[in-house]
Amino acid sequence: MKTPKVLVLRAAGINCDQETKFVFEKAGASADLVHINRLYKNRSMLSDYHIFVIPGGFSHGDDISAGKILANELRFNLGREIDSFINDKKLMLGICNGFQVLVKTGFLPGFPPEKGNANHQQLVTLISNDSNRYEDRWVYLKLSSEKSEFIKGDSILYLPVAHGEGKFVPKDKSVLAKLKKFDQIVFKYVKPDGKPSAVFPFNPNGSVEGIAGICDHTGRILGMMPHPERYSDAANHPRWTRDGLKKMPDGMRIFINAVNYAKENLL
């Protein structure tokens, strides 16, 4: 059987690229680290891949604002290629800084096309945590969408967040309403029992309605603040020394699903 191919983007300041490559390979794909300058020189190479990932980090130092400069680079130089990548039913994933990039390019939330609405408008954003500082902590996430091709169903995941600008804010009420209407809210920060909470530390950054990750209307683009690639080994869990080593670390579910989707639909 053929192996899905994953392009893990590199750029100045991206720093979760190697572990992201590792988890996709662990999930059964082959993954390449590709610097954005190489991608510019050879735009058509994107079409050789099935999954396109913007990993976490501090692209260009998050100078000006998180993910902004990389977002502009992608928007102005690779917008068309990314559109046709998604039209080909392929998958795109942005983790942490990658999520910030995706909302600032306007690829997310990516509502169904409507007349009069320009594509790739920035409709949501991720701003400074209410605590006004960078925080690394593990959080409970409620998965509550049937939309995303990366992960579906109704369950609770436990993953780390590590960011200073992760507070999810929609532009206005209509944007929030549309996110709900089209089932595009994939993850919400919750209490350990799955009940919603607006309280720190369950909602670690003050995100509106605890939103931690969203997908586009096709379900093929996913952006999330938590880091699934940091829970790919059972011993990554902060309390494995008391609760034991879990057979399927929560983070791996997302990568295995994505690779399986690619195997079933793209190969």
Partner 1 sequence: MLWYIEIANKKEYPDPSGNDVILNAHDLNIKGISRVQAFRLYLIDADIAESQIKTVAEELLIDKVTEVYSVNRPLSNPGKSTHAVSIFRKPGVMDPVEASALKGIAELGMKAYAVKSGRKYLVTGKISSKNLETLVKKSLANEAVDDFFFGQKEFKELPKSKPYKFRLVTVPLLGASDEQLLEFNKQYTLSLNLEELKTVQNYFISLDRNPTDAELETIAQTWSEHCKHKTFAGNIDFNGAPIQNLLKGTIMKVTQELNKPWCLSVFTDNAGVIEFDENTAVCFKVETHNHPSAIDPYGGAGTGIGGVIRDILGCGMGAKPIMNTDVFCVGLPDMEYKKVPKGALHPKRVLKGVVAGVRDYGNRMGIPTCNGAVFFDERYTGNPLVYCGTVGVMPKDKINKASRAGDLIVVAGGRTGRDGIHGATFSSVELTHESETVSSGAVQIGNAIMEKKVLDTILQARDKGLYTCITDCGAGGLSSAIGEMGEELGAEVELSKVPLKYEGLSYTEIWISEAQERMVISVPPEKLDAIMQIFNEENVEATVLGKFTDTKRLVLHYQGNKVADIDMLFLHKGVPKSSRKAVWEPLKFSEPKIALQKNYNSVLKNLLSSYNICSKEWIIRQYDHEVQARSVMKSLAGPEYGPSDACIVRPVLGSRKGIIVANGMSPKFGDIDPYWMAASSIDEALRNVIAAGGNLEKTALLDNFSWGNTNKPDRLGGLVRASQACYDIAKIYCTPFISGKDSLNNEFATEKGTIAIPPSLLISAICVMPDVDKAISMDLKKEGSFIYIIGMTRSELGGSHYYALNGCIGNNVPQVDARLNKDVMEKLSRAIGEGLALSCHDASEGGLGVAIAEMAFAGGLGAQIDLKAVPVEGTNRNDEILFSESNGRFIVEVAPEKAKMFEKFFKGLPVGNIGRTTKKDSLKINGLDGKTVVDAGLKELKDAWQKPLKW
Contact between 160 and partner 1 (CB under 8 A)? yes
Contact between 13 and partner 1 (CB under 8 A)? yes
Is the alpha carbon torsion for 218, 174, 125, 117 positive or negative?
positive
CA angle 92–96–99, rounded 5-degree value: 45
Contact between 148 and partner 1 (CB under 8 A)? no
Residue 16 designated active-site = no
Structure tokens at 12: 């100045």
Q: Give the interface segment with partner 1, choosing from 42-50, 135-143, 144-152, 210-218 (CB under 8 A).
A: 135-143
Beta-carbon contacts of 19 under 8 Å, excluding residues fewer than 6 positions away, are 229, 230, 232
Within 191-220, the residues that bind partner 1 by CB under 8 A are: none
Q: Are 136 and 206 in contact (CB under 8 A)?
A: no
Distances (CA, A) of 227 to 13, 31, 133, 234: 17, 18, 18, 15
Rg of the chain (C-alpha set): 17
- Which C-beta is closer to partner 1: that of 220 or that of 227? 227
Q: Give the interface segment with partner 1, choosing from 60-68, 85-93, 111-119, 149-157 (CB under 8 A).
A: 60-68
Beta bridge partners of 157: 141
Contact between 69 and partner 1 (CB under 8 A)? yes
Within 74-113, the residues that bind partner 1 by CB under 8 A are: 76, 104
Out of 2, 43, 171, 181, name the contact with partner 1 by CB under 8 A: 171
Q: Which segments of 3-96 does DSSP mark as H helices, in order?
A: 17-26, 36-41, 68-87
233 CB burial (10 A radius; 0-12, 13-18, 19+): middle
Residue 217 designated active-site = no
Residue 215 designated active-site = no
- Which C-beta is closer to partner 1: that of 86 or that of 169? 169
Residues lying near partner 1 in the complex (CB under 8 A) are found at 10, 12-13, 15-16, 18-19, 22-23, 26, 35, 37-38, 56-58, 60-65, 68-69, 72-73, 76, 104, 122-125, 127-137, 160, 162, 169-171, 227, 229-233, 235-236, 238-239, 241-242, 245
**Catalytic center residues:** 96, 227, 229
